[in-house]
Chains A and B, each alone.
Chain A
Amino acid sequence: DAMVIQNPRYQVTQFGKPVTLSCSQTLNHNVMYWYQQKSSQAPKLLFHYYDKDFNNEADTPDNFQSRRPNTSFCFLDIRSPGLGDAAMYLCATSRVLQTEQFFGPGTRLTVL
């Protein structure tokens, strides 16, 4: 089945220790998104890629970076995680902008 896969499902890191979260898709969609969702809050869009074009939301901290080496994979790098970065990180894809978004299962990040 075509799908969006996120690895790992649970990630524990230490304060200040860089961490990378992974997303892959078999849908061959052009757009990949990264959202941050804190407890009992709505998801917040961090950035998206349209093909190789990177689009950062204005209020996304510099601590968050992303890479998309090919159509299938997209990575979220958190350079120096703080306690406030503990959250669920959701990856989503869509064929083009403003079309249905397909979400992955998420990676729950814990910062110790």
Chain B
Amino acid sequence: KNEVEQSPQNLTAQEGEFITINCSYSVGISALHWLQQHPGGGIVSLFMLSSGKKKHGRLIATINIQEKHSSLHITASHPRDSAVYICAVNGAGSYQLTFGKGTKLSVIP
């Protein structure tokens, strides 16, 4: 069974700061997902990665398959980025997602 670890658990940043959230997993995967969940809200899929790097607006996600590690970066952070960011992986050949515990981000004006 895959173990998905995220760090940090909680993160407070000043508006405009560059933010990095890390995710590591223990077993080979077919894909890694970064998800965003606002308080009391549903989940939004930010990225799905199997290799390399993806960019969408101020968000960048990278993955290193050899090191079993992914990072989510937010440039020029804004209070509306405040949310829980969740890393989830599909095990090789599996449709099921294994979720990390999430990183709670608070961006202060």
Contact = CB atoms under 8 A, between A and B. Distances in A.
- Bin the interface of chain B by size: 20 to 34
A70 interface: no
Interface residues of A, number: 20
Give chain B's interface secondary structure class: strand
A104 B42 contact: yes
Contacts of A105: 41-42
Interface string B18-41: 000000000000110101000011
Given A98-B30, A99-B48, A90 B102 contact: no
A45 B100 CA distance: 14
7 contacts: A43-B97, A45-B96, A90-B43, A98-B30, A98-B94, A100-B33, A108-B40
Top 5 nearest A-B pairs by Cβ distance? A105-B42, A42-B99, A97-B95, A106-B42, A103-B43
Interface of B: 30-31, 33, 35, 40-45, 48, 86, 90, 93-97, 99-102
Interface of A: 6, 31, 42-43, 45, 48, 88, 90, 92, 97-106, 108
